[in-house]
Amino acid sequence: MDSIRTPVLIVGATCGGVPAALACARNGVRCVVVEPTPWVGGQLTAQAVPPDENPWVEGNGPDAPAGFRGCTGSYTEMRNRVRAWYRENRTLIPEVRDNPLMNPGRGWVSRLCAEPRVIERVLRDMLSEPPVRGLIDLRTGWEPHRVHTHADRITTVTFRRAGSGQELTVEADLVLDATDLGDVLELGGVESLIGAEGQHLFGELHARTDLRAGVDLDERDQQAFSWCFAIEHRPDENHTIDKPAAYDFWRSYVPVMAPPWTGPLFSWTVPTHTAQEGRVLPLVPWPDEPEQGQWELWRYRRIVDRAAYAEQAASRFPDVCLVNWVQMDHWLNPLLGVSRADRTKAYEAAREQSRCLVYWMQTEAPRHDGRRGGTGYPGLKLRGDELGTPDGFAMSAYIREPRRLRARTMLTEVHVGTEQRKRDARPNQDATRWGAGASFQDSIGIGHYPIDLHPSCAGRNNVYVPACPFQIPLGALVPVRVRNLLSAGKALGVSHVANGCTRLHPVEWAIGEAAGLTAARCVTHETEPHAICDDAKATAALRAAAEDQSMPTQWPWDE
């Protein structure tokens, strides 16, 4: 067994772990980052999800001073570097190349639909260039296996290399959990929550009201997770995969949900965010174009747009669609509160569901043009090169909901929900069309996204309601008991409902970067997170340091 010692250990090189490492290193503190997959970036890369973002990320959103960005400076740097990479390495048409807000794939879900392999390359550069060079020890291919504790402190974390008995033990002064499932919380016995709380627990407007007396939460009410994949379309070829074993089940599966589903899951008719209504979102793959103003799925998360390339280069860069749709949301098997074996089965079931969706699209899906008897797109071809895999599926599952820390401050719908805060006549609710979130004296970050809860393992249909632009308090990153642990990603102290708006890319990035800065100050000032929380001057100094490092801690209209 190998062992190393470091001031800061970051478990997970995710969308939270990467900025945590950057914050540590730029403040002169060494860190070790350990990641189970070969790639860094989490949902941006290994999970293959183009970033869902707030209206202010580009610096031109409503109700804010010109140039204000609703994200950190390093998140903006990442976005700018991705665009610069395309300008320097691809032959783009002037319309795309010269646009300062270039969207390489021109997908309509995000203003930065780009190839995960490109984003991963950019993140690797950011982790290895001056001024952080030499301060970040990145180790990929290691899964967290055991967490050792003593007297309310984590002493070491042991990792195991997948497929072998080789182990690595890391001793650290501070541990940051940047995993997608809250692995450190589970392995270390850190107080945490699973599933959806009853309304009585936090007083949330959209929390569960049907739990029996004495029950605080439903552990099976966990959001669906998904296994994404990338495809191109070669209309004159046949790339149909072998029929998956579970296909007959999935092709006829009708979800049993409340409110009710719209029919078979494998369909171009899907529930809208108003639940009982349905919307038809067809597939109009390249080379065909949708009708003017038509919303359809090929361009929803398209990561390569053939039309963005100059004529001589276009043939080398066919349209590529990144598939992350509700038809592949997996809610039959939960990931949390189950054995490792059951979790592995859940992952396998989700991958199989995604394979079945591919086969359905290739063989039976209604076509937009009526050709080939009106069904099936056999020319759909999986593109593993885009995702760094041999089969076209992402390296890891896209996780929406983790085990959530029982923190000193629990961020809930009371603090972030537009409808609830307006109903309760909270101050400053006319600041923006979404209202304004609660103000925290220890705020060390900001975020904004609707409360977007996907269907759950408990049979609850989606919840999609507006959220305020909100603040992220330091107390939500700090456990109630363990002294040297910080949440650095999705597994912060947040309710099931509020998780719907804190799980997105720029928010996870802000949480991770705030955790990294906090850890660095703990090392350089010989203190710990609990002590900073308990000291108003230390908290104010931390906020000032965040602002100095382009990490906004409040919105322009916050009181």
Over residues 516-536, the pLDDT tens digits come to: 999 999 999 999 999 999 999
Residues 109 and 22 in one domain: yes
What is the rounded average pLDDT of the residues 375-392? Answer: 97
Give the CA angle between residues 305, 308, 314 to the nearest 5°. Answer: 80
Residues 434 and 352 in one domain: no
User: Which runs of E-coded beta strand occur in 372-496?
Assistant: 380-382, 404-405, 443-447, 451-453, 463-465, 470-473, 485-487
The token pair at 320 is 């590529």
Res 403: pLDDT: 98
Task: Write down which residue in 386, 411, 427 finishes a domain.
Answer: 386
Can you give the residue range of the structural domain that contains 65? 2-195+400-548
The token pair at 48 is 């293959």
Residues 51 and 173 in one domain: yes
Q: pLDDT per residue over 259-269, tens digit each?
A: 889 999 999 99
**209 assigned to some structural domain:** no
pLDDT band of 315, cuts 50, 70, 90: confident
* DSSP three-state, residue 98: coil
Residues 178 and 239 in one domain: no
Count the domains in the chain: 2
| 321 beta partners | 231, 302
- Residue of 28, 26, 32, 27 whose CA lies nearest to 13: 32
**216 assigned to some structural domain:** no
* Cα Dmax for the chain: 71
Residues 404 and 373 in one domain: no
Task: Write down which residue in 386, 411, 440 finishes a domain.
Answer: 386
Residue 435: CATH number of its domain: 3.50.50.60
d(CA 550, CA 60): 17
Cβ(170)–Cβ(159) under 8 Å?
A: yes
Average pLDDT of the chain to the nearest whole number: 96
Cβ(488)–Cβ(512) under 8 Å?
A: yes
Residues 374 and 350 in one domain: yes
Residues in the chain: 559
Task: Write down which residue in 332, 355, 386 finishes a domain.
Answer: 386
What is the rounded average pLDDT of the residues 466-488? Answer: 98
**297 assigned to some structural domain:** yes
Residues 416 and 271 in one domain: no
Residues 34 and 151 in one domain: yes
Predicted structure pTM score: 0.97
Residues 175 and 272 in one domain: no
* DSSP three-state, residue 186: helix
Residues 372 and 426 in one domain: no
**467 assigned to some structural domain:** yes
| 153 beta partners | 150
**224 assigned to some structural domain:** no
**208 assigned to some structural domain:** no
Give the CA angle between residues 163, 22, 408 to the nearest 5°. Answer: 85
